[in-house]
């Protein structure tokens, strides 16, 4: 027996159990399909149905498996159900001091022409417009960055009848996640959150937030309305040092200067603080928050900066999903299929990074999987990537797919000896 046989079987059992949880209430064929997709995406680290079909290793023609997966993927929109169950599971691990990071993203499809509801998106990495689909993602993270929990990820198109705009999708994500988490958590969002509608919603719902402001945002300070960029010359008496880790490069030490002032907004009532941070770029970074704090206490002011820096873990989670599971290489035409596939990748990410480590036995299995990830120096540079690679390496050693059932009626062979 292969030394990994027990681990492979245990892994398949956990996939089946997890898939049963997130597909609760759906029909039996859909449950089976979701289980196969959760397994297949991890086995091949890809979202292309052809590769997922190969990883299932069914005793039928490959085209039949792929046709079945394609048909089931487009039959009904279960993305909301998957998101609901993943958010519900994740909520049990959320504490009141965690940061809920919102990050609108995108899937770029530069060469696609026939995909349903293909819309215009802005690629922030390349600083240019293109064709694709929008994403809205919520990740919970602790301030020490040791715990990162994917909670919500939905694909949408501005050309679909059920979609309205970025702000509406962000509000939808906030309401969706808020059903399961404590109000003591702090919401953090980048400059796309510099929106009166969003800020007013946070205030109205009694939620704590940290929003990075655009440089043209007007705020009232000393009874004068000015754009925040004019406060860039304010003296910042507090200092701190952070270490930034770039991909494939040495750590960079950044020296920061920061301070905070009391400000007001023109159309929104509330007590707001403006935290000014210098050192990340040529222009200061301006953070608006409604967290009660003493602006003369550098530790309390620094905590606001820490909350925003924790939001960057959401970007890291995006890269993990896109790189480990090749998310941008989606090759389905149906809009429903795209939404379902993105939700399934969220479920895979939650299963691999959170669900597997929930018990001692599973933690032991995780350690064995990490050994298969083939990371240099024995220490994975990023736990999530190592887990994804380790699972794929493990499942390569499996000769059968997840729904293989051994034929117990098979007759045993008996050796016969003849003597001359």
- Helix (H/G/I), strand (E/B), else coil: 160: coil
For 87-116, write each residue's pLDDT tens digit: 999 999 998 889 999 988 889 988 888 899
Rounded to whole angstroms, how far apart are CA atoms 15 and 357? Answer: 13
Q: φ and ψ at 250, to 5 degrees?
A: -75, 155
Entry field: residues in the chain = 420
pLDDT tens, position by position, 134-162: 999 999 988 876 788 999 999 999 998 77
- How many alpha carbons fall within 13 Å on the CB side of residue 60? 11
- H helices of 76-213, in order, are 79-91, 166-178, 196-204
Instruction: Find out whether 339 and 107 touch, Cβ atoms under 8 Å.
Output: no
CB count in 10 Å sphere of residue 206: 8
Q: How confident is the model at residue 292 (pLDDT cuts 50, 70, 90)?
A: very high
**For residue 320, how many C-alpha atoms fall within 13 Å in the half-sphere facing its CB?**
27
* Region for residue 127 given its phi and psi (left: phi exceeds 0; alpha: psi -120 to 50; beta: otherwise): left
Question: According to the model, what pLDDT value does residue 386 have?
Answer: 65
User: Please, which pLDDT band fits residue 174 given cuts at 50, 70 and 90?
Assistant: very high
Confidence of residue 413 (pLDDT cuts 50, 70, 90): very low
- Greater pLDDT, 114 or 364: 114
Average pLDDT of every residue of the chain: 84
Right CATH number for 80-323 from 3.90.350.10, 3.40.640.10, 3.30.750.210, 3.40.930.10?
3.90.350.10
pLDDT at position 111 is: 86
Kindly list the domain boundaries of the chain, sorted by start residue. Answer: 5-76+359-395, 80-323
pLDDT at residue 385 in the model: 61
């Amino acid at each position: 027996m292969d030394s990994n046989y027990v681990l492979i079987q245990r892994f398949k059992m956990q996939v089946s159990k997890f898939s049963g949880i997130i597909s609760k209430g759906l029909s039996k064929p859909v449950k089976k399909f979701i289980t196969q997709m959760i397994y297949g995406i991890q086995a091949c680290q890809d979202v292309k149905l052809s590769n997922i079909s190969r990883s299932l290793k069914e005793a039928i023609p490959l085209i039949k498996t792929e046709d079945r997966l394609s048909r089931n993927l487009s039959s009904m929109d279960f993305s909301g159900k998957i998101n609901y169950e993943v958010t519900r599971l994740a909520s049990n691990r959320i504490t009141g001091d965690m940061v809920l990071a919102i990050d609108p993203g995108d899937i770029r499809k530069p060469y696609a022409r026939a995909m349903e509801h293909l819309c215009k998106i802005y690629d922030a990495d390349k600083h240019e417009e293109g064709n694709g689909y929008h994403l809205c993602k919520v990740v919970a993270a602790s301030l020490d960055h040791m715990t990162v929990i994917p909670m919500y990820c939905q694909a949408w198109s501005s050309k679909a009848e059920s979609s309205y705009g970025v702000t509406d999708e962000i509000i939808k994500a906030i309401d969706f996640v808020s059903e399961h988490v404590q109000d003591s958590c702090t919401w953090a969002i980048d400059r796309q959150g510099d929106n009166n509608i969003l800020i007013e919603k946070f205030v109205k719902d009694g939620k704590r937030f940290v929003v990075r402001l655009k440089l043209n945002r007007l705020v009232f300070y000393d009874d004068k309305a000015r754009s925040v960029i004019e406060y860039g010359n304010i003296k910042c008496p507090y200092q701190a040092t952070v270490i930034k880790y770039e991909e494939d490069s040495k750590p960079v030490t950044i020296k920061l200067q920061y301070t905070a002032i009391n400000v007001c907004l023109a159309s929104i009532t509330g007590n707001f603080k403006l935290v000014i941070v210098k050192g990340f770029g040529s222009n200061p970074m301006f953070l608006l928050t409604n967290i009660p704090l003493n602006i003369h206490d550098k530790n309390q002011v620094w905590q606001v900066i820490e909350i925003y820096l924790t939001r960057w873990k959401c970007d890291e989670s995006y890269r993990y999903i896109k790189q480990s599971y090749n998310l941008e290489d989606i090759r389905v035409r149906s809009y429903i299929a795209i939404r379902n596939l993105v939700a399934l990748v969220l479920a895979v990410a939650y299963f691999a990074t959170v669900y597997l480590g929930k018990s001692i036995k599973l933690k032991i299995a995780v350690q064995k999987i990490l050994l298969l990830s083939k990371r240099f120096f024995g220490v994975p540079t990023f736990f999530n990537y190592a887990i994804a690679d380790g699972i794929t390496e493990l499942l390569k050693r499996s000769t059968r797919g997840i729904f293989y059932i051994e034929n117990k009626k098979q007759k045993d062979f008996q050796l016969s000896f003849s003597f001359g």
